[in-house]
Amino acid sequence: MAKNKEKSVTSKKVNQNAHIEGGGVVIDQVITDTLEKNYMPYAMSVIVSRALPEIDGFKPSHRKLLYTMYKMGLLSGNKTKSANIVGTTMRLNPHGDIPIYETMVRMSRGYEALLHPFVESKGNFGKAYSRDMAYAASRYTEAKLDPICNEIFRDIDKDTVDFIPNYDNTTTEPVLLPTTFPNILVNSNVGIAVSMASSICSFNLKEVCESTIALIKDENHDLSQTLKGPDFPGGGLIIHNQSELDKIFRTGRGGVRVRARHTYDKSENCIEITEIPPSTTVEAIMDKIVDLIKQNKIKEISDMRDETDLSGLKLTIDIKRGVDPEKLMTRLFRMTPLEDSYSCNFNILIGGMPRVMGVYEIIKEWTAFRTECIRKRVYYELNKKKEKLHLLKGLAKIVLDIDKAIKIVRETEEENEVIANLMIGFGIDELQAEYVAEIKLRHLNREYILKRTQETEQLEKDIAEMEEILGSSKKIQAIIVNELKEVMKKYSQPRKSLFIYIDQDEIQEDIEEISDYAVNVFLTAQGYFKKITPQSLRMSGEQKLKEGDKLSIQIEITNNTEILFFTDKCQVYKSRISDFEDTKASVLGDYIPAKLGFDEAEKIKAMVLTKDYSGNILFFFANGKVAKVPLSSYQTKTKRKKLANAYSNKSELIDIFSTADEKEYVITSTATRKLIFNSAVISSKATRDTQGVAVMTLKKNHFVASVDEFNIETFANPHRYRTKTLPSVGAIAREEDLGEQLKL
């Protein structure tokens, strides 16, 4: 019975669901409408309320956490468990305890991610420069606000900033924090939103304050005179590039190259690295060095260990006897994250809208924000003093006849009539009467009342001064300047990141010690590359190729040779044979477009091998022109991987030849005409994308079909196709001169 009853209930539910209107119906929607209704609100929420900082230098998560700690009394009180802070912060930030705690960790002194941390920490908070050094759980660590937060929250209770309700309307939180210095530039801030990101590097507090003062006094001030450049919490050495710094100051975009700081211990024959770039970690550096050692690209290192302890970061590299430590470090700078670039993107929310601004504009916006904060503070204090002055003026009237005031109070039968009777008796308003009525009995003496009324004169002076401030932008600017000077005096510290000056013209690539041995290189038509030693090639069988592919180039060369891959998009990609692993004939090899990062649909047109960049390259174009370019035009001082405008794009490229000596070449047109010419008759041009010299004259709708090196065996009468002057139309090919082409 029970089973049957259960079945009937189930069937009833199924029948009810079956009659749901629109149930199971798939409705077609326009993708643009779906994105606009569902995705765009999410994207705007991430941009405005999560990922990008505002002019006070904080994201919402930072602001909620710090304000909670401020309200908990942690600015002047003792440290408390981090778990208490995290739990209380959830009243403003309902995103779970782990994200809140991670936010606090990144702002802590122990984590060392900020130049001026906001959280004074106790316990293990991890390290910004370590990937594996994890922070302890919130129940084990303690924290309070750092003293610099006095400048973050100064006068926040004087209506300097607006407040909004929290997510459940149980309390309020500040929209911004009234920072007395440009915190947005002093502490780094990185965030990734939807379709945009922000990456703000940190600058030295003293330099930022001096620059702000200078710009307030003179809007045409040159920032480079006071703001030297970024200052990273982890130190490091910044490679000075004034043009790039000026670009960051003006546009908010650019890059700064940072090197690790190291010392050489001669007694231990080791290199000690104590500061690294902000964009990497100790573990990432060690992993890269290990990879280089495995690939035999670095052979001078005998051991490596992380000796980081309570005294700070320390990465020790033991080197082999006789190795020059500075040369080794130069190679490590080039090949590992020991030298890295910090990309700047100063994207900040201004009035709820994201804007990429340079340092000049950021300081201008912060000055406007701080001006408004001071104006609100002065207005708040002005109203308070006006209220007090108003009350004291009422009290002054009582001085004339204290006995009368006492008599009025004593003779009033009902309490609620005292205020009204005082108003009538002394001609004062309700607020003044309320103030007089609340005076304690012990204060009803002439001395107390006279002392209170003597404040009237000072209050009137203060009120007049405040009204002058509100009416003068220069006086407000003077207040900002004085506050900045006070901040500098209290919290400034020496630079952690120092500058090194390198003449860019003197930077030379170090010649790596590459094992030099004979190799055979193979390139297929589809772009697969193999490097095989002669011993391995003799023992190998048939070459493995992809279906439909074939070998196009096979050359025997040595391992220290450089390769240039010319593509069909007028670009050349540079590499070295030593960059490729020795392989076997039984594998497909490296796919060059993927390994060297070709553009989409880009294909190899030719491969050129060289050791010293001597000789020339000949470019044969479909319009009959030939360009001779010295191979040295493709040599660069730095290790660039890609060069644009490798050859002219005015006409289709038919073939490329690289040669150290002048040779004769056979040009065949689509009109079956042939022309033999010597490359010595045309001069070389240093410009890579030169259009070349007209060699073969072509009739309308005819083009160069092919180019080959001249071979005497394929021509019965080669003189017939030679000419004394260029350009030339050539001669129609005879059957006996077609050679192998007749078979094709």
Active site residue 140: yes
What average pLDDT does this structure show over 280-303? Answer: 91
Q: Does the structure show a pLDDT above 80 at 16?
A: no
Per-residue b/e over 156-179, b at no fewer than 16 CB within 10 Å?
bebebbeeeeeeeeeeebbebbbb
What the chain holds in terms of domains, given with CATH numbers, is 58-178 (3.90.199.10), 261-337 (3.30.1360.40), 366-491 (1.10.268.10), 518-742 (2.120.10.90)
**Would strands 172-174 and 604-610 be described as parallel, antiparallel, or unpaired?**
unpaired
pLDDT tens, residue by residue, 165-206:
999 999 999 999 999 999 999 999 999 988 899 999 999 999
Q: Give me the numbers of helices (H) and strands (E) for the chain, helices first please.
A: 20, 33
Give the start-end residues of each E strand in 55-138. Answer: 80-81, 119-122
In whole angstroms, give the CA distance from residue 298 to residue 329.
11
Is the per-residue pLDDT at 9 higher than 70?
no
In this prediction, residue 166 carries a pLDDT of 93
pLDDT band at 579 (very low <50, low <70, confident <90, very high): confident
Range among 50-59, 451-460, 540-549, 556-565 rated most confident: 50-59
Q: What is the pLDDT of residue 148?
A: 97
Mean predicted lDDT score pLDDT of the chain: 88
In this predicted structure, which of 48-52, 97-101, 168-172, 716-720 has the lowest mean pLDDT? 716-720
pLDDT at 491: 96
Percent of the chain beyond pLDDT 70?
93
The pLDDT tens digits of the residues spanning 261-272 come to 999 999 999 999
The DSSP result for 168-234, as a single string, is: TSSSEEESS---SS-HHHHS-EEEE-SS-EEEE--B-HHHHHHHHHHHHH-TT--GGGT---B--TT
pLDDT, one tens digit per residue, over 335-349 is 999 999 999 999 999
pLDDT digits (tens, 9 = 90+) for 626-642: 999 998 888 887 677 88
Q: Which residue has the higher pLDDT, 22 or 119?
A: 119
DSSP state letter for 9 = H
Q: pLDDT (tens digit, 9 = 90+) per residue, 216-228?
A: 999 999 999 999 9
User: d(Cα 624, Cα 698) in Å, to the nearest integer?
Assistant: 7
pLDDT tier at 511, thresholds 50, 70, 90: very low
Q: Which of 483, 482, 505, 510 is nearest to 297 (CA)?
A: 510
Q: How confident is the model at residue 294 (pLDDT cuts 50, 70, 90)?
A: confident
Do residues 618 and 690 make contact, with C-beta atoms less than 8 angstroms apart?
no
The residue with greater pLDDT, 511 or 693, is: 693
Per-residue confidence band for 45, with pLDDT thresholds at 50, 70 and 90: confident
Contact 573, 607 (CB under 8 A): no
Q: Is residue 505 over pLDDT 70?
A: no
What DSSP line would sit under 281-308, residue for residue?
-HHHHHHHHHHHHHTTS--SEEEEEE--
Catalytic residue, chosen from 39, 42, 140, 517, is 140
Q: 488 is written with which tokens? A: 């500098």
With tokens 């900020």, the residue in question is: 114
Q: How confident is the model at residue 38 (pLDDT cuts 50, 70, 90)?
A: confident
Q: What is the pLDDT of residue 12?
A: 44
pLDDT on residue 506: 43
Does the N-terminal peptide bond of residue 182 adopt cis geometry, omega within 30 degrees of 0?
no
690-695: average pLDDT: 88
